[in-house]
Chain A
């Protein structure tokens, strides 16, 4: 079974700093998808970024980028120029084919003014 591990339960940085959230996963499959979701205190889960395992190029979305290391089964999220609105719970998730989305336990990120 696939598992997703987020080793940092909580992180805190100052506004405008860069922060990296870690995620590792375990799978024997070759083709799969990885996601980072953000859940602010308002509760809604928002897709931050998505990576297809067959693509070597790391995905980027504005201030958000990933470092995808397929051999190491690592999928970290980098947030540049962090903003107060980035304060949220961040979940890393894995999905292969029609199988269900597997979430990590989450990292609570606080951006301090």
Chain B
């Protein structure tokens, strides 16, 4: 089973709203990732959690706040977003820590900021 699930599938929010994206995996993976993907572009790494600790933050604005409550769950809290933050947000996980392990992706959340 190489399934990573993400909820919601679609999200529309205003610039003053607070919302959260959720990612879950039950494969026992110890590294989890958030990516942002604009249309027709490759994914851009935002955050990496390794063994439930934040190990990489790619200089992401503070209006994006990641959280890893346990080894199976990864959240991305959103607050005061801008229209340019509209994108597909992908979650991924890999078996070991941050290593050469293959990353498995979820189906993504399509975010629209009005």
Contact = CB atoms under 8 A, between A and B. Distances in A.
A85 interface: no
Contacts of B97: 98
Interface size class of B (residues with CB under 8 A): 20 to 34
A37 B99 CA distance: 18
A98 B97 CA distance: 8
A100 B105 contact: no
Contact of A91 (B42, B48, B107, B110): B42
Interface in A27-81: 32-33, 35, 37, 42-47, 50
B25 to A, nearest CB: 14
Contacts of B48: 100
Given A91-B42, A105-B41, A43 B99 contact: no
A67 to B, nearest CB: 20
A50 B12 CA distance: 36
A97 B40 contact: no
B100 A101 contact: no
Interface of A: 32-33, 35, 37, 42-47, 50, 89, 91, 95-98, 100-101, 103-106, 108
B20 to A, nearest CB: 20
B4 to A, nearest CB: 9
B66 interface: no
B106 A44 contact: yes
A45, A100, A108: residue with the most chain B Cβ atoms closer than 10 Å: A45
16 contacts: A35-B102, A43-B88, A44-B107, A45-B43, A45-B90, A47-B103, A47-B104, A96-B100, A97-B99, A100-B45, A100-B48, A100-B56, A106-B40, A106-B41, A106-B42, A108-B40
